[in-house]
């Protein structure tokens, strides 16, 4: 078990070692390890070596000049200057919130960025200011849209954070696919098959092969097949791609460069700059008095959480599972898998940083 503070400190040291500015290294560490704290292990410190690999390949600028390249009072395009998405996205969210402060809402499309960690982190920044936060990002193509044999979309997540009064906030954060790719990696390690409805094979047929995505197949959009609405998951992933990539001038669709899956994917020649994100903030009192709204959110949450449930289960509010895991892990610490510990040990050795392997 590792305490979050220890992992954050280590991550910060690694980002400093590749030349990040101190305050940005600290922020990036905070964002990255928030994923481990919230139970989204696939997006946390397990990917630290991946960010370093981006740096090694010249795709990551440790001292980016993040700037607004075009704007109106409520909209902007931000160029991330090849910076860490972990740093670019919070900066873009700040800009969105500054605009919301002035004109009610702010919407920022980001180009020339990299993977930004968990979408929910950035959306939740809005909660501190009595705003609704929204975040999306495109990602390298792993997903075959309905009837397609080609991978054209990433898992393209969307997160929305909404404040409540006495209840904890509503925080939805989900990929536009049936499952995230990380679930396949877990099955691959264990040599287990996948349920039908998660992936298709190279011929476009539903498959239980947990290696299908690596061998010509693709992840299925949310809905799994046409009969169960996969065209809706495809539509949702497409909206995320257009808002993040096309609106900003980043890469989009099949051209988004690979990150975590660099092992079996090669970037096609680009059509824009880096990876794209889309971030928005709306002031609650741009619509209703914040207290009235938050009281109604408590009522909303109460109705859902209190609903009669299937035997042995309960109805969860988006954000409940992550919050419950965070409550445990922030006390008991975070368990890391052996390959993750090994990758951190290697980074420690390379950069001359101390890291206590527990293997």
Q: Which of residues 78-137 bind a second copy (CB under 8 A)?
A: 102-105, 107, 109, 132
Answer yes or no whether residue 296 interacts with a second copy by CB under 8 A.
yes
Is the separation of the CB atoms in 161 and 124 below 8 Å?
Answer: yes
Of 60 and 162, CB closest to a second copy = 162
Answer yes or no whether residue 57 interacts with a second copy by CB under 8 A.
no
Answer yes or no whether residue 303 interacts with a second copy by CB under 8 A.
yes
Token output for 212 = 């299908």
Q: Near a second copy by CB under 8 A, which window of 14-22, 309-317, 337-345, 346-354? A: 309-317
Taking CB under 8 A as the criterion, the residue among 148, 211, 261, 330 binding a second copy is 148
For residues 188-207, which are near a second copy according to CB under 8 A? 195, 197-198, 203-204
- Residues 6+ away with beta carbon under 8 Å from 180: 42, 155
Q: Near a second copy by CB under 8 A, which window of 17-25, 29-37, 81-89, 216-224? A: 216-224
Run of H or E residues at 111: strand 105-113
Rg (CA), the chain: 20
Q: How far is the CB of 62 from a second copy (least distance, A)?
A: 27
Taking CB under 8 A as the criterion, the residue among 36, 41, 241, 322 binding a second copy is 241
Taking CB under 8 A as the criterion, the residue among 21, 129, 232, 323 binding a second copy is 232
Q: How far is the CB of 231 from a second copy (least distance, A)?
A: 7
Of 264 and 287, CB closest to a second copy = 287
Please report where in the chains the tokens 């981006």 appear, as a residue: 54
DSSP 227: G
Rounded to whole angstroms, the Cα distance separating 334 from 338 reads: 13
Q: How far is the CB of 113 from a second copy (least distance, A)?
A: 15
For residues 265-284, which are near a second copy according to CB under 8 A? 271-272, 282-284
Q: What is the DSSP string of 51-105?
A: HHHHHHTT---SS---EEEEE-SSEEEEE-TT--HHHHHHHHHHHHHHHHHHHSE
Candidates 135, 141, 178, 140; CA nearest to 157 is 135
């Amino acid at each position: 078990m590792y305490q979050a503070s220890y992992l954050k400190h280590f991550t910060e040291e690694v980002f400093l070692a590749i030349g990040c500015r101190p305050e940005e290294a600290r922020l990036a560490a905070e964002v990255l390890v928030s994923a481990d704290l919230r139970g989204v292990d696939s997006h946390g410190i397990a990917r630290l070596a991946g960010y370093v690999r981006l740096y090694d390949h010249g795709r990551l600028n440790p001292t980016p000049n993040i700037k607004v390249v075009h704007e109106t009072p409520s909209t902007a395009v931000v160029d991330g200057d090849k910076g860490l998405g972990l740093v670019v996205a919070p900066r873009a969210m700040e800009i969105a919130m500054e605009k919301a402060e002035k004109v009610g809402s702010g919407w920022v499309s980001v180009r020339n960025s990299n993977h930004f960690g968990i979408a929910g982190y950035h959306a939740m920044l809005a909660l501190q200011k009595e705003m609704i936060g929204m975040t999306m990002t495109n990602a390298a193509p792993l997903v075959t849209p309905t009837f397609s044999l080609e991978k054209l979309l990433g898992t393209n997540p969307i997160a929305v954070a909404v404040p409540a009064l006495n209840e904890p906030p509503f925080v939805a954060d989900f990929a536009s696919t049936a499952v995230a790719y990380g679930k396949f990696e877990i099955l691959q390690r264990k040599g287990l098959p996948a349920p039908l409805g998660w992936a298709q094979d190279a011929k476009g047929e539903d498959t239980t092969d947990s290696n299908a995505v690596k061998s010509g197949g693709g992840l299925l959009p949310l809905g799994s097949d046409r009969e169960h609405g996969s065209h809706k998951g495809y539509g949702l992933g497409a909206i995320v791609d257009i808002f993040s990539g096309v609106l900003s001038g980043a890469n989009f669709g099949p051209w988004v460069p690979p990150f975590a899956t660099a092992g079996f994917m090669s970037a096609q020649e680009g059509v824009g700059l880096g990876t794209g994100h889309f971030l928005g903030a709306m002031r609650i009192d741009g619509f209703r008095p914040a207290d009235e709204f938050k009281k109604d959110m408590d009522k909303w949450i109460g109705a859902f959480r209190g609903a009669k449930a299937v035997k042995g289960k309960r109805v969860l509010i988006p954000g409940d599972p992550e919050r419950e895991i965070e409550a445990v892990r922030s006390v008991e610490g975070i368990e890391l898998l052996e390959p993750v510990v090994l990758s951190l040990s290697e980074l420690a050795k390379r950069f001359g940083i101390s890291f206590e392997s527990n293997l």
